[in-house]
């Protein structure tokens, strides 16, 4: 009896914590969605850029709903809600396993997907100079943040060393080995100078770093979900034994 009481308390605490995490995810997704839209409104940004934000919102909403079922089911000994919690969590574990496998199989193609998105930015233009001033400022900000030059190529700028882009494109390293690894040669009126690599490479590396973090978070969540499913099934079994039959 004491074990069952402790398990119920543990499930309630677990679900409350993850309900709060889900609420934070949903709030963060909504904030990114509307603040990001407000910041780039009028810019030709691809809709695909919103996919991570929508995934964050969906994850937050899912956690809030399923943990509500789990918490109420454990607290009120409601077998229907606790069964719903266990079954849906079981499906989510399978989905997470499939997602993890797909990330491992297709993770190397993230560069192709990002390049396709960037190409859409230039489809109607011959160079980045054709964008309006606000969008160029937006690009230069990310060039400075990621130390890159151009979207798919340094040649996306008609003059990558022009007054607008020079501060973020010009690559200066005293160590030639570092310079050759991080930079690309560029002909500047007969003189060879160096500029940073295109943003598609740097952005892909930036996203790739977070892919491992996302994968680690999925593994932790998956293990916690399995533990919660086992606990919920144990409680359901004990309740049914007390009612005179075994599940």
Q: Are residues 38 and 96 in the same domain?
A: yes
3-state secondary structure of 186: strand
Lowest average pLDDT, out of 63-77, 85-99, 202-216, goes to: 202-216
- Our count of domains for the chain comes to 2
- Residue 40 clears pLDDT 60, i.e. is over it: no
Q: Are residues 150 and 83 in the same domain?
A: no
Q: Are residues 106 and 12 in the same domain?
A: yes
Let me know if residue 70 belongs to a domain.
yes
44 or 70, which is more confident:
70
Kindly state the average pLDDT of the residues 112-141.
Answer: 71
Let me know if residue 116 belongs to a domain.
no
When mean pLDDT is compared over 44-58, 62-76, 165-179, the highest value belongs to: 62-76
Q: Are residues 15 and 98 in the same domain?
A: yes
Q: Are residues 7 and 82 in the same domain?
A: yes
Mean of all residue pLDDT scores within the chain: 78
Kindly state the average pLDDT of the residues 2-26.
Answer: 83
pLDDT score, position 111? 67
Q: Are residues 103 and 6 in the same domain?
A: yes
Let me know if residue 42 belongs to a domain.
yes
Alpha helix positions (H), the chain:
2-40, 51-76, 79-106, 110-121, 133-146, 166-169, 176-182, 199-242
Lowest average pLDDT, out of 19-33, 47-61, 217-231, 233-247, goes to: 233-247
- Residue 52 clears pLDDT 70, i.e. is over it: yes
Q: Are residues 196 and 217 in the same domain?
A: no
Question: Domain containing 232: what range?
Answer: 2-110+211-242
What residues does 196 pair with on adjacent strands?
183
Q: Tell me the pLDDT band of 247, cut-offs 50, 70 and 90.
A: very low
Q: Are residues 68 and 162 in the same domain?
A: no
- Distance separating alpha carbons of residues 121 and 23, to the nearest angstrom: 34
- Residue 229 clears pLDDT 50, i.e. is over it: yes
Kindly state the average pLDDT of the residues 35-42.
Answer: 56
Q: Are residues 76 and 154 in the same domain?
A: no
Lowest average pLDDT, out of 4-13, 109-118, 165-174, goes to: 109-118
- Residue 223 clears pLDDT 80, i.e. is over it: yes
Let me know if residue 236 belongs to a domain.
yes
When mean pLDDT is compared over 25-29, 107-111, 116-120, the highest value belongs to: 25-29
pLDDT score, position 187? 82
Let me know if residue 118 belongs to a domain.
no
Let me know if residue 119 belongs to a domain.
no
- Residue 107 clears pLDDT 70, i.e. is over it: no
pLDDT score, position 234? 84
Q: Are residues 91 and 9 in the same domain?
A: yes
Kindly state the average pLDDT of the residues 16-29.
Answer: 88
Let me know if residue 122 belongs to a domain.
no
Query: pTM for this structure?
Result: 0.65
Q: Are residues 175 and 103 in the same domain?
A: no
When mean pLDDT is compared over 102-106, 128-132, 191-195, the highest value belongs to: 191-195
């Amino acid at each position: 009896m004491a074990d069952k009481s402790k398990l119920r308390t543990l499930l309630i605490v677990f679900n409350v914590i993850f309900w709060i995490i889900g609420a934070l995810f949903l709030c963060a997704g909504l904030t990114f969605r509307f603040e990001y839209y407000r910041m780039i409104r009028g810019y030709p940004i691809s809709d695909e850029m919103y996919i991570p934000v929508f995934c964050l919102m969906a994850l937050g909403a899912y956690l809030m709903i399923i943990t509500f079922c789990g918490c109420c089911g454990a607290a009120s000994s409601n077998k229907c809600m606790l069964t719903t919690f266990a079954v849906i969590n079981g499906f989510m574990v399978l989905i997470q396993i499939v997602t993890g496998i797909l990330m491992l199989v297709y993770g190397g193609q993230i560069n192709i997907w990002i390049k396709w998105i960037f190409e859409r930015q230039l489809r109607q233009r011959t160079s980045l100079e054709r964008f309006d001033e606000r969008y160029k400022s937006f690009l230069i900000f990310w060039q400075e943040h990621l130390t890159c030059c151009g979207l798919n190529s340094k040649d996306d700028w008609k003059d990558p060393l022009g007054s607008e882009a020079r501060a973020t494109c010009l690559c200066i390293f005293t160590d030639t080995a570092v310079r050759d690894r991080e930079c690309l040669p560029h002909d500047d009126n007969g003189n060879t100078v160096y500029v940073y690599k295109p943003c598609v490479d740097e952005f892909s590396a930036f996203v790739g770093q977070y892919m491992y973090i996302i994968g680690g978070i999925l593994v932790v969540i998956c293990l916690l979900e399995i533990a919660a499913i086992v606990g919920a099934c144990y409680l359901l079994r004990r309740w049914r034994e007390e009612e005179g039959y075994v599940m």
